[in-house]
Every structure is written in C-alpha cells, then in structure tokens.
A and B are shown apart, each in its own frame.
Chain A
Amino acid sequence: MVTKPAGDGSVRLLALAVRMLPPERADWARAMRAELASIGPQRDRWVFIGGCLRAIAAEQRMLRGVLHLLAVLGVVVVAFAWSAAIGPPLTALLDVVVVVLAVVCWSARRTAMLGPVGDSAVARLWRLVGYLVAGAIVLAGLAHLNPAGEPATDDGTAVLMLATTVAAYVVGLATVSARRSAATGRVVVTAVGCALAATAAWLVMVLVAPPVPASPGASLALIVCGAAAAAALNAGGADGLRRGLLAAILAGAIGAGLVVILVDLLAHLAPPSMIPNIAIHALTPATRLAQSRVELVDPYIGVLVLGCVMAAAMGAISVATRRP
C-alpha cells in the first residue's frame, strides 16, 4: 500500500469535501480519508474520490452547505461594499451586524459553538427569518450602492436600522434556543409568559386609563417587573444563576419588542381618544391628531433600542454560559 503525502491534491480535495458532512457523520468522513490513504494508483484514487463526492452529496447537505456559504459570503461582500459607500458613522454598525449574522448562521451548522441546530420545522423557520434579514440587508445594500442623493441615503438608513433591530433579535433568540444553551424549555416558557403578562398589564392600563402614555416610563417599569418575575421563577437549583439571568434578559427583550409593536399599532389604529396630544397647538385638530399619531412612537424608540441591546446581550450571555 502506498501512503500519499498530506499535500497531495486528492487528499486535500477529499479533506475539504468531507467537511460538508454533518457532524454526526464524522466517523464516515474519517473512514473515507483513511481509505484514500490506502489506495495507491492515481486513477483509482480519483475514481474513489468521485464516488465519495457522490456519497457526500447523497447526504443532501453538501449543496445546502455550499449555498449557505455563498449566501453568507454574498451578504458580507455586498454589505461591506455598501458600508464603504455610505460613510463612516454607519459603517461600523453595519459591519458588526453582518459579521454577527454570518458567524451565527455559520456556527449553527457546526458542533463548535451553538449547533448543530435541529432540522425541525421551528428550526427551519428560524433560519428562514435569519436569511430574510440577511436578504433585506443585501437588497438595501444593492439599492444604495450608488447613493442618488439624500432621500436614498435616508431610506437606506431606515432599512439598516430595521435590519439591525431584527438581526439583534434573530441572533439573540437563536442563541438562547440553541441546543447547547443553558436555557431550558422551562426558562423559555416562563420568560415568554412573563413578557406577555407585562405587556398585557401595560395594555390593560392603557385601555382602562387612556390615552397611551406619551412617555415610556410605565412600560419600562412593567418590563422590569416581568424580567424580575422570570428571574425569580428560574432562580432555584444548582444552575439557578445562569437560568435566572437568561430568563430575565429574554423576558426583557421580548417585553420591550412587544410594547413597541403595540404602541405602533395603537398609534395607527386606536381611536382619537387614546392618542395623547403631543403635537404643537398651532395646528388644526385633525392635523394635530395625525401629527400626534406619528410622534407617539418616538419616545418608545428608546425602549426598542433597549430591547435590541438586551437581545444582543442575550446572544453573548447564551454563548458564554452554554453547556459543554
């Protein structure tokens, strides 16, 4: 038997190809490489590699792996090109968003950090959301590669901010619900329950004593209460600190997101009696109401930013406290 050197092209090709196999097939990847090392004639080696490539493709994951890599690379290239065109203030933010998205999407398929994530409908749906966010960034980037003026830049900034918000939540929720996350099903359920309860309490308060508060103080207080309740419900046991922390931050992030969504819906759909008068008084009543509806959301942008920060922190904490 002839053992080919590690630098042999066929060895390198097979080593690259077997990386496309899912982690649970690691033994088979090693088996193919070991078999190749024992085959001498060059022609037989390439015939064997051709067969191995077919076997790897038969696992129906190689194509997905390649497409996945191309998608991530495409997003990174387009976003970086766009960020170079829109100037320094947004460049760093956009680059961070894209890099984090790319790292999370990629690592979710490996055993190293978060994954492998499941093949269930929920996992697939969640990955789809991640791809949609990445796609939105690409589209915004393509549309603004050559800024035609201030309006185009403003539109691009709005899309960027929205994409950043959604990306923070996608990354945070993906990491906290990963297989190796310290957050158990109980943590997730209680945290979501507390966030819903806090949001419902705020909504009841608004319905009972309208209008919608012009400042976010009450909503922030209820979000904090929800987070504290989630932490308390998960604080027991040997792993209570990690679970309590994850539950609190998950409840806070979800609560903040829900409150902002509710405010936006109320600003658009609620009857005039629920809209606070926050526009300048020189306007006609109808114009003042319309202006108040528009401006009602502004004070709650801080809540959304807080939710984004919590979601991003949740991602970092989930990785830091993940199970072995």
Chain B
Amino acid sequence: MSRPRRPSSQTVRVLQALSARPERWRYGYELGQEIGLKAGSLYPILIRLHDRGLLEAGWEEDSPPGRPPRHLYRLTGAGERLAGELAAAATPDGRARSAQVRAAW
C-alpha cells in the first residue's frame, strides 16, 4: 500500500494564501506574485486542487472593456479544512495530525 503524499511546500503556500481570506476570489497572476510562484508552478497546483474538489473556480463578471474576463479562484469547504489542518500540523503539537493531513491530500 502506497503512503499518501504530503502536499508540496508550494502547494501549502498556495493553500495558505487562499485561506487567509477564504471568501475572497483571487486570480492566478496576482496569487503567483504574492507567494512568489511562476505560472509554470502555480497552474499545475491550481489544476490539481480544482480536480480534487479543494478549489472553486469562476469567471470575473465585471472585466473592463477590451480585456477578457479572468479566471478566479477560492477554496471550497474541503480546501479550507485541509488548509486548516496543514496549519495545525505545522505547529509543534500538531505533528500527530500530519498523517491525517496526508490522507486527506
């Protein structure tokens, strides 16, 4: 039986950034700038999170004329829970929960 993979540090950074204000929709370029990730790293992470039901995606509704609407992202309930568990696991008394986090991922 294979051991569940722990999220990469880059994925954890994305989750943390999105969970800082979970109600807010974010767009990819801004998110990448904030956490220092280029598109080549960011998009595969966003796609994977979306495929696993941890990320909700939508389209910008009030884009200025001449510019296409951007894709917006925010965590789903499951995504928020995972982000919370990752944050708790990072604390000294949260190590015991790391196995649960891996399983969730």
Contacts and interface: CB of A to CB of B under 8 A. Distances in A.
B38 A33 contact: no
Chain A at the B interface: SS class: helix
Given A28-B47, A48-B29, A34 B71 contact: yes
Interface string B38-59: 1111111011000000000100
A35 B70 contact: yes
B61 to A, nearest CB: 13
Contacts of A27: 57, 71
Interface stretch (A49-57, A116-124, A146-154, A226-234): A49-57
B27 interface: yes
Nearest to B73: A31
A50 B40 CA distance: 7
Contacts, number: 73
Contacts of A37: 67-68
Given A31-B28, A35-B70, A35-B71, A52 B64 contact: no
A289 interface: no
B70 A34 contact: yes
11 contacts: A1-B64, A27-B57, A31-B70, A34-B70, A35-B27, A37-B68, A38-B67, A38-B70, A50-B39, A51-B41, A54-B38
Given A50-B38, A54-B38, A58-B44, 16 more contacts: A1-B64, A27-B57, A30-B71, A32-B43, A34-B60, A34-B67, A35-B28, A48-B38, A48-B39, A50-B40, A51-B32, A51-B40, A53-B40, A54-B41, A55-B44, A59-B44
